[in-house]
Amino acid sequence: MLEHRARRRGARNLVAVSLIAGLAVVAGTSLASAAGSPGGRQGGPRDHRNGPSFTAPLTPGDLLVSTSTYVNDPTIVAGTTQLPPGCSTATVAPDPCGTAVANGTYPYVFNNDQVDTSFGVTSPIVLDELTTNGRVVGSIEVPNSTEAGTVGKTQMVTSFSSKSELALNLSATGKYVTFMGYDSAVDTADVSNANTPGDIDPTSADPGTYYRVVAELDHNGKISYTLTNAYTGDNGRAAIAAKVNGQTEIFTAGNAGNGANPEPFQVVTGAGAQLVEPSSQPEATQKPGQPTPIGSFSVYKQLPSEYTNDKAAKDNNYRGIAIENTVLYYTKGSGSNGVDTVYFVDTSGKACPTGSGLPQPGASLPTSTTVRYYTPTAAPSIVKKSTTTANPGLVPENMCILKGFPTTLANTTKWFPFGLWFANPDTLYVADEGNGTAENTTATATTNGLYQNAAAQKTAGLQKWVFTKGAQTWKLAYTLQNGLTLGTPYTVAGYPTGLNTGTKLDRPWAPATDGLRNLTGKINPNGTVTIWAATSTVSGSGDQGADPNQLVSVTDQLDATTLPADEKFQTVLAPKSGVVVRGVSFTPGTESTHGT
């Protein structure tokens, strides 16, 4: 299941503010430069919520929320535009040439997913600063091609309907917030399934090439950018920074591969869990090398009874990332390959001889020096379709399923983990996205499915896992759903109502909450924790990733092991037509209580 596509330039009501100067020529871009500074952008960033302008420094303890606003694209014309971009009539798989069935107007444009399964369009990244009670302090737009002076220089965008993108993670020291996107202009189609310049897959249907970008935002509003060749054919989703042996390392999560099976070696090694060394150079002068994988999970080696003929990269299709007590954790929750569960990177080599286990005492984070000895000739034990010594699949095989979490194959599981947050070493909150019923069923508005199936889910929402010391395993305590109103359709001002007749099945436009994606939390003085999370949706839209979704919060009793009756989710940011909510973290400069 593809988790990324696009977004267009829908109606946005933006307030111009002068905040950035010199962003086109330096790797570190200040979001607080004075208006009119030499080399500065005229007009500054635009606030899509009509709130006050973003000013630096950011306030420690506030929330930071990543959003994107669609901008209507006049270059896509129904009955004329050929998709994917640059395709030829000789293209056979996975996407032959198709003709657009909808113009570039939101949300109808995403009905083009019918003729281009990789369909997507890049859009600006907006960061909202909120107080913890939900008051918007201000918003900024990350430099992009719609702004004067940025074309061909510093730019970073997301793919609008790519629901797994734009996670925000506070670094282990609390100094930075990191996130991922693309080195591309706004309104470029299918970037999230195109190749990276250094890792070309000749079997991919999308011929474009775009670096993935890791951004680090500090509390003064300065952004630094690092290009990477990882995640060719798919999307980088999350990044987190940490100091390891005195050096800053960036760990990333994502997916790779949009072509044939078996996948080329360079595609496989650019998948999953990656290490990216931060650059101090401007984007225009960076020349990133080959990706550096820091871990993988071998279904064949560690769970031989579960082995199937998966695509080598897709077993390690990661979404969420976290650091707790110098251990790196990942989630996988989509696709039909591998195991959808919670993992950790085992740097000891002793934690999980049979597939699942617990981090070893004294475990450390991986570093650039400890992973570089893995080469294409270091063939792993995994016996994937057509893998060879020269094309072995993803190495090193050093990831473990966290003991107590699911170990069954993704094509049989009913669990869809996304973001994760440790309240303490023995309490872990996991966001479950839900099953996305409308993408995988022939259900219509009047048959069982869609909303009904979303409402019937038992594990979608916010899962609370506790570590039982006696049994030395993690256990699901309960799942918080009250207030999410799973499967209940809602209306959004300016968004279509009725049935979407532009698809093969006439299903209702109205979105309904299906679960949760990225999240963060804080411990309160009274023994409770408050969690903030972005919602996922189901609907009859052409791509559910483009649905207007929400930011919600809930407060939970930290020491509770059975579901409290009075806990209920509240809306923090309500859904807005043409706007998607993606990630949430605390602002850089907020003191970190976990990690290293």
In a domain, 9, yes or no: no
pTM exceeds 0.75? yes
CA angle 443, 260, 273 (to 5 degrees): 85
CA-based nearest residue to 351, from 287, 416, 400:
400
In a domain, 2, yes or no: no
Mean pLDDT by 10 residues, the chain (596 residues): 34 29 33 29 33 69 97 93 80 67 96 92 96 91 80 83 96 94 94 93 86 95 94 95 91 89 79 92 91 84 64 83 96 87 92 91 82 43 44 72 92 88 97 77 59 92 97 98 97 96 89 97 97 96 96 98 97 97 97 58
- Give the C-alpha separation, 238 to 254, whole Å: 7
- CA dihedral angle for residue 101, residue 102, residue 103, residue 109, rounded to 10 degrees: -130
* H-only helix segments in 239-328: 265-268, 299-302
In a domain, 44, yes or no: no
In a domain, 237, yes or no: yes
Tell me the CA end-to-end span of the chain in Å, nearest whole number: 35
Tell me if 556 sits within 8 A of 570, measured CB to CB. no
The confidence score (pLDDT) of residue 316 equals 86
Taking the CB of residue 530, how many other CB atoms lie within 10 A of it?
14
- Give the C-alpha separation, 258 to 93, whole Å: 10
What is the count of structural domains for the chain? 1
CA-based nearest residue to 556, from 586, 522, 593:
522
User: Cα 106 to chain center, whole Å?
Assistant: 22
- Give the C-alpha separation, 523 to 593, whole Å: 10
In a domain, 282, yes or no: yes
Place of tokens 């900024």: 140
User: Cα 296 to chain center, whole Å?
Assistant: 18
CA-based nearest residue to 249, from 196, 316, 328, 313:
328
3-state secondary structure 70-127: CECCCCCCCCCCEECCCCCCCCCCCCCCEECCCCCCCCHHHHHHHCCCCCCEEEECEE
In a domain, 523, yes or no: yes
The confidence score (pLDDT) of residue 7 equals 31
In a domain, 591, yes or no: no
CA-based nearest residue to 587, from 54, 141, 222, 219:
219
The confidence score (pLDDT) of residue 18 equals 27
The confidence score (pLDDT) of residue 264 equals 78
In a domain, 10, yes or no: no
- Give the C-alpha separation, 328 to 314, whole Å: 20
The confidence score (pLDDT) of residue 149 equals 64
The confidence score (pLDDT) of residue 55 equals 61
Q: Range of 359's domain? A: 15-30+56-91+98-586
